[in-house]
Amino acid sequence: MCGIAGLINLKNIEENFPHDLNSEIKFIDSKLSHRGDEKYNIKYLSNNDFFYHNRLSIIDLNIRSKQPLSDITKKYFITFNGEIYNYKTIREQLIHNGINFKTESDTEVLLNSYIYWGEKFIEKINGMFSFAIYDSVKNKYYIYRDRFGIKPLYYSIIDNQLRFASESQALTFKDKSLNEDSVNAYLLGMFVPGKLSFFKNIFKLLPGNYLKIENQKVSTHEYYNLENELNNNPKKISFEKTDALLKKTINE
């Protein structure tokens, strides 16, 4: 399951270490610690930004696969929740193209896919996931959610700070105000619609979407839309093709 979170400052921070940062990290962990079986890890990035990870170990149980994870050059970083079904196939492609690995994890495959293919890497990824990547070379952040929203991802932008987490409660360190419209919608239909959450100023990252943080500005992008996919591929999928795709996914 894993728990991920992070804070990205959208303005330059003059303080060496904001006084309430430790308190906020402890608060985040109090809300996400149940999602993993290990003590949380923090990776401090530039400008007092950080990635948080509480790991539920499944693939490559070795300590070398602890997250947040960096590549061999320590220029790229990732915090990842989910599973990449075709990671072995992608790993073979990357090795064939000269990429070296230090772990056996799908996390490192995901990170190296970004490094090698750039923003188009997501087109190659088959799985359920939410993750954030920091590219220190280009000074950019990317925060992704899988195509159908299987893995949760919430974010908020308050006081020139973008926060993200696997659960909305982990983002209520500064404001716990309920969104009454969301509560009413849930009581009427047993779900919270769109990108709303139970809390004010906290939103779901929609399925098939990602956030890009560049030059301390946040933009939202859609990389997958089921309706568009069906319209662009109107042919019916046969049972045989579905069966073959399922077997291919399981084998990968």
Say if CB 53 and CB 134 are below 8 A apart.
no
Identity (one letter) of the amino acid at 69? L
The DSSP-derived string for 209-251 is EEEEEETTEEEEEE---HHHHHHH--SPPPHHHHHHHHHHHHH
Catalytic residue among 1, 2, 50, 120: 2
Q: How far apart are CA 223 and CA 99, in angstroms?
A: 25
Task: Supply 48's token pair.
Answer: 């007092």
Q: How far apart are CA 59 and CA 174, in angstroms?
A: 35
Phi/psi at 7 (5° precision) = -135, 130
Determine whether 24 is an active site residue. no
Active site residues: 2
